[in-house]
Amino acid sequence: MLDASGLSPWVREKSKDVFACLARAEARAHGASVDQVHFHEVGAIDSIIDTVGSVLALELLHVDEVHCSPLPYSNGFVKCMHGLMPVPVPATLDLMQGVPVIPAPKGQSTGELVTPTGMSLMKALATSFGPPPAFIPHTHGSGAGTKDFPGHANIVRVVIGDAAHPVSPSPTNDESVVVLETNLDDMNPQILSHVQELLFDQGALDVWWQPIQMKKNRPGILLSVLCLPGGVNALSTTLFCETTTLGIRRRTMERAVLKRLFMTVTSLYGPASVKVGYLNGAPVNVQPEFDDCQKLALAANVPIKTVLAEVQALARASLKKEAPVA
């Protein structure tokens, strides 16, 4: 649906990020794989509009970063397709892992205050949770819910502004990341791929391992996880529960990331997605999505390098006709 729309590549991919985040949470809540998740209530038209509309608004308003205040943690029950569910519902609670929450305001502590759709939007789009960095407000907007709470307004407010201390424009998007590391010498290595899949499902940016030599000349594995600061707690919990580690090292560092957009090209073998990295508005990296090209190569019974080369050439030719990306 999104790929067939007239939305920009950025809006399509960010919207997909939100739905992927929600799908992982729903899958864990139902004890199923992501491919088995049916969005029922989540896939309703209003939820799609909420998600795509929010992402589109960020693009139209030229918002570079989203900072979210601590979210309210309420209690009680809510009716859904599965019957009466405790608040926060399982998918929302799963998405809240690693995110700071605060007790709901007095008079508003009972009932659903954060929905799975809203939580997935913030989890996928927010740069930080908590007090915002120093900024100069320029405009704001408020949205009111239909439910009335005694002594407290049921509103969500958005404030748009500029950083109070702007720095020289960077050709890359700079962000803080955390590396989690642990040494393992007493674990069945067959478990590693299972753990890797779980970590990616929980939002890890990358997962890798390297062979190392440990004490008493034991062969071991150095398992590393790259994540955003908000995902440290949830990913650490997974490492403690799923591996034999007794301790995890944490290192916070800065990384520079190219502005990335996705495009779809139609080759002789079919459509394939391509990831494009931009530096100073010009494409410097053009990488076809391997999984797409692999499926096309197998279906056409041709070498995958043939498909990769054609898709990349078509993408580069298309990019030459486009205006620079800001």
Residue 42 has pLDDT above 60, yes or no: no
Mean pLDDT of 47-62: 91
Report the C-alpha gap between 227 and 252 in whole angstroms: 10
The two tokens of residue 263 are 């495009």
CATH of 173-257, one of 3.30.70.1380, 3.30.365.10, 3.40.640.10, 3.30.930.10: 3.30.70.1380
Mean pLDDT of 304-315: 96
Higher pLDDT, residue 65 or 208: 208
Higher pLDDT, residue 127 or 206: 206
Q: 92: pLDDT confidence band, cut at 50, 70 and 90?
A: very high
Mean pLDDT of 177-191: 95
114-170, pLDDT tens digit by residue?
999 999 999 999 988 888 888 999 999 999 988 887 777 888 999 999 887 655 566
Domain ranges of the chain: 9-163, 173-257, 259-320
What is 259-320's CATH topology? Ubiquitin-like (UB roll) (3.10.20)
* Confidence (pLDDT) at 261: 86
Q: 249: pLDDT confidence band, cut at 50, 70 and 90?
A: very high
CA 85 to the chain's CA centroid: 26
Report the C-alpha gap between 206 and 199 in whole angstroms: 9
Higher pLDDT, residue 12 or 81: 12
* Confidence (pLDDT) at 313: 96
- pLDDT averaged over every residue in the chain: 88
* Confidence (pLDDT) at 2: 73
For residue 88, is the peptide bond before it cis, meaning its omega torsion is within 30 degrees of 0? yes
Query: Which of 192, 152, 145, 158 minimizes the C-alpha distance to 66?
Result: 158
Backbone phi, then psi, for 285, in 5-degree steps?
-135, 125
* Confidence (pLDDT) at 236: 96
